[in-house]
Every structure is written in structure tokens, then in C-alpha cells.
């Protein structure tokens, strides 16, 4: 659970001044045990920064982060290590996420280092993980270069599973892969989730895929969550103009649904995140923007049925 979590990056300008990039700005988000929460939004909106901050790879600039009721916001070193075991990340790009000079055994076993297992115990663990992700035993001595993209992502998944995590951030795990193998990797992730009772935060671009796998979906825009709802509620009744514009660019196979959903074409460019618009940050692209939207930032309102939205149109 994140409460008002922010992640700011300070950037020095040419003239020696400093400016602040608010990559994540006072976000509240909870991932419940056993669920898959989809996190969607354009690239550069802060999805990856938020997920890295949640698992405490990045230090939050503000707010609190808790895990199973324990406040982990400012834990460090040995105090943080047990939580890093429980929370892992599967990265977008299996090409750069794996050290090309290491063997698969070393890569998969790396997160196990703090456990000080014997060499034999480690190898046994790696072999059973490789079997779990559908790789052959002889993969163990080979290096990432010997594998296809899909196989490399399986290696990344095995590594993420090595510490027996409870919660995994899947940060666009298939977007760098061939379309032909994307479904296999998704199916593997969903199988593993069921077998190991995992919870996922699933960061993704592909809305059709998110609809297929997520229990709930959160929509992020310029560092803020603007809407959040159970998946079918969000896809059938998107309320925020930004969510509608995101949906309007995907083909909706159901003609009835396509009629129901009022489509909003996404206009303009994503504003410079260094200069976030005042009031509602979506107002520069919103066809419904009023002077109120310029003056006041909308707060998240619960419209019922666990559906929350931050827009002055919905109060």
C-alpha cells in the first residue's frame, strides 16, 4: 500500500538552476493479496517509477509505503532485505536485464545471495525454477546470448521467483517480445500466479491484454492515478476523459460496447513533465476542461463499487 507516495528527481539546468521532475506525485495505491492490478498509461507517465518505488528499489521522496501492515518507507540494508525477497520485478527488456557474461545459474541464483545457501542447495533451487518456467536443465551453464527473447524472459521470471516472492511487479514483461510468443509468456505468468498464490502489479501498454488478466486497473497520467476500478467496470464504464481517450485508440471487438463507450480522441502531446499544468493536469488535452479545471486539481472520489475517479465532472 502506498499513501501519498511521491518520487521527485532533481535536475540541474544549463544555467545552474535546479528543477524538479515530479515523476510520481502523491499517489495512493493498494495491491491486495492474490490480485492482479493492471497499471496503464502512456510512456513517461511514471508507471515504472511508481512500481520501483513501491518495491523500495527507489526511495520515495514523500509519503509512506507499507507491506502487509508493516511500514517499510524508510527501511534500509538488512532491515529492507526480507522485503526485497518478498517483492520482485520482472523487467520489460530481457535483453538488457540479464548480464550477458553470467551463466543462467548465476543469474537465477543472484537474489539468493543473502540466504547463504550451499552450492548444491542453490543449484537444486535453480533447476527447479528452470523447470517451473519451462526451460531445460542444460540451460544452467549457458549464457543469455544463447537464448531467444522469450527464453530470456523466462530466465528473468525464474530469477524473480528465486526468493519465493509474494508480490511481483511485471513491468511491461512482453512488450519487447515477438507477438508470437507474448501469449505464452502471459500464460506462464498467470499459471505461476495461481500455483504460487502471487500478487501482481502489471504495468502495461496493451489494454486488451490488461483486460484479459487484471482484476482491477489503475490509470496513470503525468505522475497521478486518475481512475481506478475493477477491470470490467473500467472497460465498460470509463469515467475519466483520459481513460476514455486511451480506450478510444484500441479496437474494441464488441460492437455494442463500442457504441456504449463515449470515445474521446486523445488530442495534443503529453505535456513536459517538468511543467505540469496547474489544476487538473489533463486539462491541456481534455475536451471538457473548464476554468474550474485550471484552478483546482480534482481529488479522487469513490463513485461506488470500488470505482474511483479524479475529475470535476464526477462528484
Integer CA distances (angstroms), 52 to 5, 117, 198, 271, 292, in order: 12, 27, 18, 23, 34
Cell of 213: 488478466
Contacts of 24 (CB under 8 A, 6+ apart): 5, 6, 7, 46, 49, 50, 53, 223
Q: Is residue 224 a contact point for ligand SF4 (CB under 6 A)? A: no
Cβ contact 73:5 at 8 Å: no
313 contact, one of Mg ion, ligand SF4, none, CB 5-8 Å limit per kind: ligand SF4
Binding partner of residue 88 among ligand SF4, Mg ion, none, CB cut-off 5 to 8 Å per kind: none
* Residue 43 beta carbon to Mg ion: minimum distance, rounded to whole angstroms: 6
Q: How far is the CB of 126 from ligand SF4 (least distance, A)?
A: 49
Axis crossing angle, helix 149-161 with helix 119-132, rounded to the nearest 10: 130
The piece of 41-49, 53-61, 151-159, 279-287 that touches ligand SF4 (CB under 6 A) is 279-287
Selected from 52, 283, 307, 308, the binder of ligand SF4 by CB under 6 A is 283
Q: Which of 289, 300, 301, 303 binds ligand SF4 (CB under 6 A)?
A: 289
- Contact by Cβ (8 Å): 205, 176: no
- Please report whether residue 48 would count as binding Mg ion according to CB under 5 A: yes
Which lies closer to Mg ion via its Cβ, residue 108 or residue 170? Answer: 170
Give me 82's grid cell: 526480507
Which range in 48-56, 80-88, 96-104, 267-275 contacts Mg ion by CB under 5 A? 48-56
Residue 213 touches which of Mg ion, ligand SF4, none (CB < 5 to 8 A by kind)?
Answer: none
Amino acid at each position: 500500500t502506498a499513501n501519498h507516495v511521491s518520487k521527485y528527481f532533481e535536475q540541474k539546468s544549463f544555467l545552474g538552476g535546479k528543477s524538479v521532475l515530479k515523476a510520481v506525485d502523491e499517489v495512493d495505491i493498494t495491491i491486495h493479496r492474490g490480485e492482479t492490478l493492471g497499471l496503464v498509461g502512456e510512456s513517461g507517465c511514471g508507471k515504472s517509477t511508481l512500481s520501483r518505488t513501491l518495491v523500495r528499489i527507489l526511495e520515495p521522496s514523500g509519503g509512506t509505503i507499507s507491506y502487509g501492515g508493516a511500514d517499510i518507507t524508510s527501511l534500509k540494508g538488512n532491515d529492507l532485505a526480507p522485503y526485497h525477497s518478498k517483492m520482485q520485478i520482472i523487467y520489460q527488456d530481457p535483453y538488457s536485464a540479464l548480464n550477458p557474461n553470467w551463466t543462467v545459474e548465476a543469474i537465477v541464483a543472484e537474489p539468493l545471495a543473502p540466504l547463504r545457501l550451499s552450492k548444491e542447495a542453490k543449484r537444486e533451487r535453480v533447476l527447479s525454477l528452470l523447470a517451473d518456467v519451462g526451460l531445460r536443465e542444460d540451460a544452467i551453464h549457458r549464457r543469455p546470448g544463447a537464448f531467444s527473447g522469450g527464453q530470456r524472459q523466462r530466465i528473468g521470471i525464474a530469477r524473480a521467483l528465486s526468493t519465493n516472492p509474494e508480490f511481483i511487479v511485471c513491468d511491461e514483461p512482453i512488450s519487447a517480445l515477438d507477438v508470437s510468443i507474448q501469449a505464452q509468456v502471459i500464460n506462464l505468468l498467470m499459471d505461476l500466479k495461481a500455483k504460487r498464490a502471487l500478487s501482481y502489479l502489471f504495468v502495461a501498454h496493451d489494454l486488451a491484454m490488461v483486460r484479459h488478466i487484471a482484476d482491477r486497473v489503475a490509470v496513470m497520467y503525468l505522475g497521478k492515478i486518475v481512475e481506478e476500478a475493477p477491470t470490467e467496470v473500467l472497460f465498460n464504464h470509463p469515467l475519466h476523459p483520459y481513460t476514455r481517450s486511451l480506450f478510444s485508440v484500441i479496437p474494441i471487438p464488441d460492437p455494442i460496447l463500442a457504441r456504449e463507450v463515449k470515445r474521446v480522441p486523445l488530442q495534443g502531446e503529453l505535456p513536459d513533465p517538468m511543467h505540469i499544468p496547474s489544476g487538473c493536469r489533463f486539462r491541456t488535452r481534455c475536451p471538457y476542461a473548464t476554468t474550474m479545471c485550471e484552478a483546482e486539481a480534482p481529488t479522487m472520489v469513490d463513485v461506488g463499487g470500488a470505482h474511483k475517479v479524479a475529475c470535476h465532472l464526477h462528484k
